[in-house]
Amino acid sequence: MSDQARVLKFQIFRYNPLKKGDKPRMVTYEVAEAPGMTIFIALNEIRETQDPSLQFDFVCRAGICGSCAMVINGQPDLACRTLTANFADGEITLLPLPGFELIGDLSVNTGKFMRAMSERVESWIHDLHADEVNYDALEERMDPDVADEIYELERCVECGACVSACATKRMRPDFLSAVGFMRLARFALDPRDKRTDDEFYEIMGNDDGVFGCMTLLGCEDYCPKDLPHQTQIAYLRRKMALIR
């Protein structure tokens, strides 16, 4: 690495809605870059040495838990796995993820949104007998490929990047969004979930559901787990169009 101890310039959105009189503003912080530095490391350094009130969310710091999505130089991404070295001019602008309730600075309430999404799509296996299964006996078999395919759709980490990048969501506040569609596609594929197409239609067969999607595909572009949004939304749409 050639650029030793570059000074990075962070422009960070600051606003604490709970502090009387506080106003949204951008504040600049300078940090000496270290090799392998991520935005996670830089933000913690700013908090510890410059401004202890700075709010942000990290949990796993390894790109696994989905806590840390924010808008980095205009693009939603996971901050913990973004290396500062990726930015040639050393200038990094950070904004909280739009489309979610702001807690303060870079921290937004994705958890509340995701729980509501899970309740809305009934994000669980629907099987009246699931709780009567005899767990001493061999488990129900599943085709190995089907298991792998379900997992592919279950890799979503509920980071919210797709929601923030969605133009439809901006116009329709109750739009289910890509994360919800992905969840539905996952359960629709799962032979253990006994829901019928009609039941799925009840959940997404309207303009706040899959028919509202304008296929601008910000979701596909920004999903940090590279989930196949385009094909899955198209699939759900076809499936739902066949019903009524």
Partner 1 sequence: MKVIYTDSLVIGGGLAGLRVAIASMQRGYDTIVLSLIPAKRSHSAAAQGGMQASLGACIKGDGDDEDVHFGDTVKGSDWGCDQDVARMFVNTAPKAIRQLSAWGVPWSRVRGGDREVIINGEKVTITEKHEAHGLITARDFGGTKKWRTCFTSDGTGHTMLYAMDNKAIQLGIPVHERKEALALIHEDGVCYGAIVRDLITGELIAYVAKATTIATGGYGRLYSVTTNAVISEGIGTAIALETGVATLGNMEAVQFHPTAIVPVGILTTEGCRGDGGLLLDKDGYRFMPDYEPEKKELASRDVVSRRMTEHMRKGKGVPSPYGDHLWLDITLLGRKHIEKNLREVKEICEYFLGIDPVKEYIPVRPTQHYSMGGVRTNATGESPTLKGLFSAGEAACWDMHGFNRLGGNSVAETVVAGMIVGEFVADYCGANPLNVSTGTIAHFLKKEEKKITDLLVRDFGENPFALKAEMQQIMMDKVGIFRNGPDLEKAVEELTVLNQRARHIALRNRISSSNPELVEAIRVPKMIKMAQCVAYGAMLRTESRGAHAREDFPERNDRDWLKRTLATWPDDSSDLPELSYEDLDVMKMEMPPGSRGYGVDNIIVHSDAEKRMAEIEEITKANSSADRFELQQLLNPTPIPEKFKGKNERIGRGYK
Q: Which long-range contacts (CB under 8 A, 24 or more apart) does 37-40 make?
A: 37/8, 37/83, 37/84, 37/85, 38/79, 38/80, 38/81, 38/82, 38/83, 38/84, 39/72, 39/79, 39/80, 39/82, 39/84, 39/92, 39/94, 40/68, 40/79, 40/80
How many angstroms from the chain centroid is the CA of residue 132? 34
Site string for ligand FES, 42-61 (x = CB under 6 A): ----------------xxxx
Of 166, 64, 192, 177, which Cα lies nearest the Cα of 121?
177
Site string for ligand FES, 68-97 (x = CB under 6 A): x---------x-x-----------------
- Residue 102 touches which member of ligand FES, ligand SF4, partner 1, none, C-beta under 5-8 Å by kind: none
Q: Does 61 bind partner 1 (CB under 8 A)?
A: yes
Q: Does 163 bind partner 1 (CB under 8 A)?
A: no
Of 65, 66, 68, 64, which Cα lies nearest the Cα of 55?
68
Supply the minimum distance, in Å, between the C-beta of residue 84 and ligand SF4: 22
Q: Which is nearer to partner 1, 89 or 136 (CB)?
A: 136
Supply the minimum distance, in Å, between the C-beta of residue 132 and partner 1: 9
Q: Does 180 bind ligand SF4 (CB under 6 A)?
A: no
The alpha carbon dihedral of 46, 51, 54, 57 has a sign of positive
Of 34, 41, 39, which Cα lies nearest the Cα of 3?
34
**What is the C-alpha separation between 226 and 102, in angstroms, rounded?**
26
- Residue 46 touches which member of ligand FES, ligand SF4, partner 1, none, C-beta under 5-8 Å by kind: none
Q: Binder to partner 1 among 4, 88, 128, 139 (CB under 8 A)?
A: 139
Sites of contact with partner 1 (CB under 8 A): 16, 18-19, 35-36, 38, 47-48, 51-55, 57-67, 81-83, 103-104, 107, 110-112, 114-115, 118-119, 122-125, 127, 130-131, 133-144, 147-148, 150-151, 154-155, 157-158, 190, 192-193
Sites of contact with ligand SF4 (CB under 6 A): 156-162, 178-179, 182, 223-225, 227
